[in-house]
Amino acid sequence: MYILGIETSCDETAVALFDTNKGLLAHSLRSQIALHAPYGGVVPEIASRDHLRCLLPLIKKILVEAKLKKPDVIAYTAGPGLIGALMVGGGLANGLALAWQCKVIPIHHMEGHLLAPMLEEEKPEYPFLALLVSGGHSLLVSVKGLGDYKVLGTTLDDAIGEAFDKVAKLLNLSYPGGPEIAKIAEYGDSNAYSFPRPMLKKPGLNFSFSGLKTAVMLVVRQAEKDGTIEKNKSDIAASFQKAAIETLIGRTLKAAKLHNFDRIVVAGGVGANIMLRKNLKASFEGTVFYPRHEFCTDNAAMIAIAGAYRIAEAQEIDEIKATARWSLESINT
């Protein structure tokens, strides 16, 4: 079976073709970063319009690349995400399915992230603990099998990627902030400032990043007043990154210990962070699995492979499914 994956939940227009026998055949992505950068964050209306403009040419391109006329099934991201952006992907998926006489599968974006490591040669076996860290989520999920998910921890305020983006904005770095912070942190002293490791001493497995963000903001404001901001920028970025990553790792190791996991999957945009990847691997006794860098951030290969695992749920076109807020546990089977 050939599955076309479509991802339009936020600011990447992405498509992929997955063969249930041979694996990933082709994938392509157009990032909208340059369009949103002047605004310091994603502008929903601009995102929807650009998805609409770019989706069909991208689909045409990968079909030609894979020498395929049409897929058997179309898997599309149905949420969570920006509602207008989701409707563009869902609308086109259902329209094409009508024209091609094929079936559709609406996919949960976070399940896509969770299954992204399955695109790699070294795949995790179930059960595993998933740390899903992106611009919209910070989740610790117990994964016993496909559609057997239990959220063990979530953020009480900002998502970790959002915290990276907001701190980057404070430091006058461009959007998205995560990679920018990681870049300048390389030249900074990560012990220059002692920022809080939020929640690490608190019971439970939830995260909270607004206190850390406020602590950074106070330091930035002071440095601006003192005229030392340019000199100290990389030290602030490095100290923030260290506090944020230590918090993620601390909570993840605690969850793994409490729930007896010897496999951890890290996925989502922040999963591309080198410090997180390196330090978690070094501090965990079991095995850590990551998708390759390009499949950590939003992509359609993860949506297509999720479609492959859920092929039995392929359905005739119906109403377009687009859900801005959608809990991962609600898709349990």
Backbone angles phi, psi at 190, to 5 degrees: -75, -5
Q: Pick what 178 binds: Zn ion, ligand KG4, none; C-beta below 5 to 8 Å, kind-dependent.
A: ligand KG4
Q: Which of residues 280-309 bind ligand KG4 (CB under 6 A)?
A: 297-298
Q: Pick what 63 binds: ligand KG4, Zn ion, none; C-beta below 5 to 8 Å, kind-dependent.
A: none
CB contact at 8 A, 295 and 306: no
158, 165, 235, 246: which one binds ligand KG4 (CB under 6 A): 165
Cα 82-131-177 angle, rounded to 5 deg: 55
How many residues make up the chain in this entry? 333
Alpha helices in 101-131 (DSSP H): 109-115
Q: Which of residues 125-144 bind Zn ion (CB under 5 A)?
A: 134
13 binds Zn ion (CB under 5 A): no
What is d(CA 146, CA 152) in angstroms, rounded to the nearest whole number? 17
232 binds ligand KG4 (CB under 6 A): no
10 binds ligand KG4 (CB under 6 A): yes
In angstroms, the Cα distances linking 178 to 28, 42, 150, 242 are: 22, 14, 27, 13
* Sign of the alpha-carbon torsion through 225, 226, 232, 238: negative
Q: Are strands 73-79 and 103-108 parallel, antiparallel or unpaired?
A: parallel
Residue 29: CA count within 13 A, CB half-sphere: 18
Q: Which stretch binds ligand KG4 (CB under 6 A): 60-68, 129-137, 208-216, 315-323?
A: 129-137
273 binds ligand KG4 (CB under 6 A): yes
182 binds ligand KG4 (CB under 6 A): yes
What is d(CA 164, CA 270) in angstroms, rounded to the nearest whole number? 9
77 binds Zn ion (CB under 5 A): no
- The site string for ligand KG4 over 130-159 (x = CB under 6 A, - otherwise) reads ----xxx-----------------------
- # binding residues, ligand KG4 (CB under 6 A): 19
Q: Pick what 151 binds: Zn ion, ligand KG4, none; C-beta below 5 to 8 Å, kind-dependent.
A: none
Interface with ligand KG4 (CB under 6 A): 10, 134-136, 161, 164-165, 176-179, 182, 268-270, 272-273, 297-298
